[in-house]
Chain A
Amino acid sequence: MHTALEGVSFDACAGTFLSVVGPSGCGKSTLLHIAAGLLQPTRGSVFVFGQRLDGVNHRASYMFQQDALLPWKNVRENVALGLTFRGRSAAESNQLAAEWIRRVGLDGFGDSYPAQLSGGMRKRVAMAQSWIVDPDIVLMDEPFAALDVHTRLRMENEILDLWAGSGKTVLFITHDLEEAIGLSDEVAVLSVGPGSRIIARHKVDLARPRNLLDIRTESRFQELYKTIWSGLRQEVLRSYERD
């Protein structure tokens, strides 16, 4: 029996963008799976807007690290999947899907299959797929880890545009501290596993709207980076020792 997380207790303020960073293998994905209700914690419980979570968290949608699009459905069908499952009419689903396809910049690709798209385009489809159902909470598990640096920056900017003013709570998991600071209102640091816990939480007081292309050179960003990194560094070093 491997204990990925132990004694992790934390909360996310409604409407904020919270990132959890930690060295690889520290149980970040486990944490998100528990928040999604895809995994039952062996001890403890999850409360979503004051209600104890039982089964899948239907107020949340999840953007996975891996490619989760169904390869046998075209872009429109993939985007509309959540609406189909909720029993919305085909006409309504199609119209909403077309809107979202436009919003994520994939106009004209509605009939393409995932295998015909680039990695960045597939992430856009996944983004539309998880946002179209209008969730209160968006869970993201290193969704852009597989993309090249420039595509990644663009996607991060687009996520911020989508999120701004939406009132949604975002729980974002990453091992990239720059990404976490750039996107979030708050960054939580998870210790190295097994038996990881939250060892620090830092408010990110950078003004919004932010442009991630420029933000890394700001002095406040670098200050925050130094502060958080000093704690994270220890954990990363410990994770090296363990390997």
Chain B
Amino acid sequence: MSGIRTSLLQTVLGVSLLAAWESAVRLGAIDKFFFPLPSAIAVRVWDWISSGSIGPHLATTLLEALLAFVIGVATGVTGGFALARMPGLARLLDPYIRVANALPRVVLAPIFLLWFGLGIWSKVALGVTVVFFIVFFNTYQGVKEVDRVWIDNARMLGASERQLMRHVLAPSALSWIFSSLHISIGFAMIAVVVGEYLGASSGVGYVIAQAEGVFDTTGVFAGMTVLSAVVLAVGAGVNRLERWLLRWKA
């Protein structure tokens, strides 16, 4: 009951905010140039979808984000596991990892543009630098904080180092890795869109940059709307996967 109530209230809140925005613009209280009509944004989004013009751009952005995500997760998980199992190496690399992580990622975008060109790989590289560190730290933490008694118990039951990894360390780190996946999916999208915005020939970030270039705020807002919707949809998919993989958490 309260669930239905909450979603009802949420809908009311959203609709009234949009209505207030729409009428404020129509009454001339706020400038249409900076805050385009919500209805105009909706029409634009619908135009993009019905004409299919947004399709190739969305595909580019999604492909970049997916590649950044997959490469970032793979390297992050591997690195996190390796360093958690090799404390000596972790101590050695610790200051360098901190320095690398302290660097604001956006400043890398121009460098990556020079290194990897205007195509998708400069955006993928930018996304990887973001995803890698999030997943890396979570995996490292997850493996480090495995309950000692699980390891002792498994070793008493005859587990080899590989079996320990597969049956104890990996599943235990999984819940940590998953909490990082939610964040890193969003960040992967942000990173590749920023990359596209700074220099590309395709992608949602490119569409937004183009619209901004001709002061088409409606186009900018429509691009933002499409991006949010996609990130939410992908996030929902991850949620389902997580619920299944972590079903033992009663």
Residue of A nearest to B172 (CB): A72
- Asked if A85 contacts B159 (CB within 8 A), the reply is yes
Candidates A56, A70, A71, A73; contact of B156 at CB < 8 Å: A56
Residue A169 lies at the interface, judged by CB distance under 8 Å to chain B: no
B238 at the interface (CB under 8 A from A): no
**Which A residue's beta carbon lies closest to that of B168?**
A70
Q: How far is the CB of A135 from chain B (nearest CB, A)?
A: 9
Q: Does B17 contact A (CB under 8 A)?
A: no
- A60 pairs with B150, CB closer than 8 A: no
Interface size on A, residues (CB 8 A): 30
The contact string, 1 if C-beta is below 8 Å from chain A, for chain B 76-112, is 0000000000000000000000000000000000000
Complex-state Cα separation, A67 to B147, whole angstroms? 10
Which of B150, B155, B247, B249 makes the CB contact (< 8 A) with A70? Answer: B150
Give the complex CA separation of A57 and B159 in angstroms: 12
User: What is the CB-to-nearest-CB distance from B172 to chain A, in angstroms, rounded to a whole number?
Assistant: 8
A179 to chain B, nearest CB (A): 21
Inside 8 A of A38's CB, which chain B residues have their CB?
152, 155-156
A64-B149, A70-B150, A70-B171 known; A113 vs B250 contact (CB < 8 Å): yes
Known A38-B152, A64-B149; contact A81-B248, beta-carbon cutoff 8 A: no
Judge whether B53 is part of the interface by a CB distance below 8 angstroms. Answer: no
The listed residue with most B CB atoms (<10 A of its CB), out of A56, A64, A71, A74, is A71
**A residues near B167, Cβ cutoff 8 Å:** 70, 73, 81, 84-85
A60 to B156, CA, bound (A): 7
Residues 107-126 of chain A, each 1 if its beta carbon lies under 8 Å from chain B, else 0:
00000011110000000000
- For B149-174 the 0/1 string (1 means CB < 8 A from A) is 11011111111100100011001101
CA separation between A82 and B163, bound complex, in Å?
11
| A-B complex: 9 closest residue pairs judged by Cβ atoms | A115-B250, A68-B153, A82-B157, A85-B158, A113-B248, A62-B156, A72-B171, A72-B248, A68-B149
Which A residues contact B (CB, under 8 angstroms)?
Answer: 33, 36, 38, 56-58, 60-62, 64, 66-68, 70-74, 81-82, 84-86, 113-116, 129-130, 133
